[in-house]
Chain A
């Protein structure tokens, strides 16, 4: 493998193992991708750009400034996909007002009750599950509501990809180690070709971000730079997909 962002976290032995065991080959793009934007909502970015240790006082899941850097990148990719009529599918969380269905999340984090309202609800009118305004879903985009890490778990995502006749997914969002990784692995397991856009993903942990990109690139996906992926999108034939007409609400 060429020099990657995660190399600084690997031991010399790790590098030799990856180099000689055949991992990290290029799976390649499919012909009919969808862009998956995983959980880029205020719970994971905070309401404004702030250093992460300040941001998590109000929003315990916030990834701080890295999130806002990624939002700009994601915005470019969303525009590029819309321009070609490539499906843009967002995921975000959904939870009962009483939080009962947080369930397993609450077993592993002591602040889950704050995750969608903020630590002090008086300080914010935002629902943490609201997708950030800068990349708000457009009328022909699709939003999938989920409760667990993978965008495929307990959702219609697979059926939408089937209806759209997608053979591949381009993945951005957060967290690299959590919902991005879970979604990537399920997409891989369903035999979609998976590309992860490095600058479009973020995590609260620098080490987890790097190592999860390393793992995904080794085994499940091609981790590529935004420049490469934009070039690929720009080369796609426009109008390949039968997208939603753009009506508001459900029939």
Chain B
């Protein structure tokens, strides 16, 4: 695929685009991919498809409308990955008892008292037999988890990532994947944050420096073409 300026085109000024034009290149889904679904847990969908600012007092950490807009595209990719038979990873908060000292978390957000159910995977995407769920304490799925050993065991060479938040756990995980030598494609419409600006600028950064941001449709087509149903 040729290099494309995605959702950020309306917020990134021309001089910044020009400055980053040196990163332009072909984009693609790499060989032997796995799907990694970052933090598709209940709390980010709470309060329904509203603006996060209007509902976050009652539903802390919600991504509101942005989470709900991503539901259909996310289902499309997960379905395509199942048809293709590629490995599917999920990650969510480590909620096992007595798992960490006070103050350890994915962000510096003020403390909220959570329950385990808050961090269960949203029912639309419930993991199935054969999927792999990883529990993490920090932003990146590579930090303090066995993901690299699982990917090596499966012979995975590339990742397709989606989920939230673009500026937090998706970005941290994508950069660590890149640093570990994996080619990464991010599914644009299935990735979201609490505010459009931070979503767009973070995707801009990731796309230019570390990953290939691609449309859900391109990724689904790739999987359907390269992994025809048996």
A residues sitting closer than 8 Å to B (CB atoms) are: 158-163, 165, 167, 189-192
Cross-chain contact B181 with A160 (CB below 8 angstroms):
yes
Cross-chain contact B155 with A167 (CB below 8 angstroms):
yes
Interface centre among B148, B152, B155, B181 (most CB of A within 10 A): B152
Cross-chain contact A158 with B148 (CB below 8 angstroms):
yes
Residues in B135-170 with C-beta less than 8 Å from chain A: 148-150, 152-153, 155, 157
What chain B residues lie within 8 Å of A192 (beta carbons)? Answer: 152
Which DSSP category, helix, strand, loop or mixed, fits chain A's interface?
Answer: helix
What chain B residues lie within 8 Å of A191 (beta carbons)? Answer: 149-150, 152-153
Task: Using A189-B149, A190-B152 as known contacts, say yes or no to A159 and B180 having CB atoms under 8 A apart.
Answer: yes
Cross-chain contact A167 with B152 (CB below 8 angstroms):
yes
Q: In the bound complex, how far is the Cα of B154 from the Cα of A165, in angstroms?
A: 12
Q: In the bound complex, how far is the Cα of B148 from the Cα of A190, in angstroms?
A: 6
Task: Using A158-B181, A160-B181 as known contacts, say yes or no to A165 and B157 having CB atoms under 8 A apart.
Answer: yes
What chain B residues lie within 8 Å of A190 (beta carbons)? Answer: 148-149, 152
List 5 A-B pairs, minimum CB-CB distance, nearest first. A162-B181, A159-B181, A191-B153, A163-B181, A191-B152
Q: In the bound complex, how far is the Cα of B157 from the Cα of A189, in angstroms?
A: 18
Question: What's the minimum C-beta distance from B152 to chain A, rounded to whole angstroms?
Answer: 4
What chain A residues lie within 8 Å of B3 (beta carbons)? Answer: none
- Does B113 sit within 8 A of A, measured CB to CB? no
Query: Closest chain A residue to B178 by CB distance?
Result: A159
Q: Beyond A158-B180, A162-B152: 5 further Cβ-contacts under 8 Å?
A: A158-B148, A160-B181, A190-B149, A190-B152, A192-B152
Q: In the bound complex, how far is the Cα of B152 from the Cα of A161, in angstroms?
A: 10
Chain B window 69-105, contacts with chain A (Cβ cutoff 8 Å), 1 for yes, 0 for no: 0000000000000000000000000000000000000
Q: In the bound complex, how far is the Cα of B183 from the Cα of A163, in angstroms?
A: 9
What chain B residues lie within 8 Å of A162 (beta carbons)? Answer: 148, 152, 157, 180-182
- Does B225 sit within 8 A of A, measured CB to CB? no
Question: What's the minimum C-beta distance from A213 to chain B, rounded to whole angstroms?
Answer: 24
